[in-house]
A and B are shown apart, each in its own frame.
Chain A
Amino acid sequence: ILNVEQSPQSLHVQEGDSTNFTCSFPSSNFYALHWYRWETAKSPEALFVMTLNGDEKKKGRISATLNTKEGYSYLYIKGSQPEDSATYLCAFNRRYSTLTFGKGTMLLVSP
């Protein structure tokens, strides 16, 4: 069983704060790293799929970086807003394998 670790487990910030969290994964036989955003009472939705070492992806105020050699990815949110409150999941897969999810980072942004 692959080990995908996310930290912190939860985070509470004020509106306007910038924040970041980490996903650690096995560095061997890397194929792809996924970030999902999961709002309460909704389905998880894909934010980014990252495949190359050094990849940086951006969607609005959210961005992510990838280091496959050392096995980590960072997710950054610039100027957090209450609507960013959600659980952020990362998932790792090797080629021809299914996704292994981390336990998620629960973000709460207070107005």
Chain B
Amino acid sequence: DADVTQTPRNRITKTGKRIMLECSQTKGHDRMYWYRQDPGLGLRLIYYSFDVKDINKGEISDGYSVSRQAQAKFSLSLESAIPNQTALYFCATSDLRGRHNEQFFGPGTRLTVL
């Protein structure tokens, strides 16, 4: 099945550490997104990319960076993790030719920053 995968699924780290979260997809979609989910706050967009050479900031990009290494891969980095970046992180994809930007989500990465 065409899929969206995320690694790692869970990560505990310490304040100040650099962390990379990875997302891969086999759907052949050109658009990829990183969201974070916090209790009571819903899904908030961090960064998105419409193709390999396109990177855009979302609503809450401060403290994060991304890399679109290939059409199928989109990585999120926390250069120096802080406790308020503790959250559930989702990667998502969509197809330029799809249903009005319908998005397909990965399984999520639960990140804890101590």
Contacts and interface: CB of A to CB of B under 8 A. Distances in A.
A13 B103 CA distance: 29
Contacts of B108: 43
A89 B105 CA distance: 13
User: Which of under 10, 10 to 19, 20 to 34, or 35 or more describes the interface residues of A?
Assistant: 20 to 34
Interface hub of B41, B42, B48 (most chain A Cβ within 10 A): B42
A63 interface: no
- Size bracket, chain B contacts: 20 to 34
B102 A44 contact: no
Contacts of B103: 34, 46, 99
Given A31-B100, A101-B44, 20 more contacts: A1-B59, A32-B99, A32-B100, A32-B101, A43-B107, A43-B108, A44-B43, A44-B90, A45-B105, A49-B102, A89-B42, A93-B100, A98-B33, A98-B58, A98-B101, A99-B103, A100-B45, A101-B42, A103-B40, A103-B42
7 contacts: A1-B59, A32-B101, A43-B106, A49-B99, A93-B100, A99-B103, A104-B42
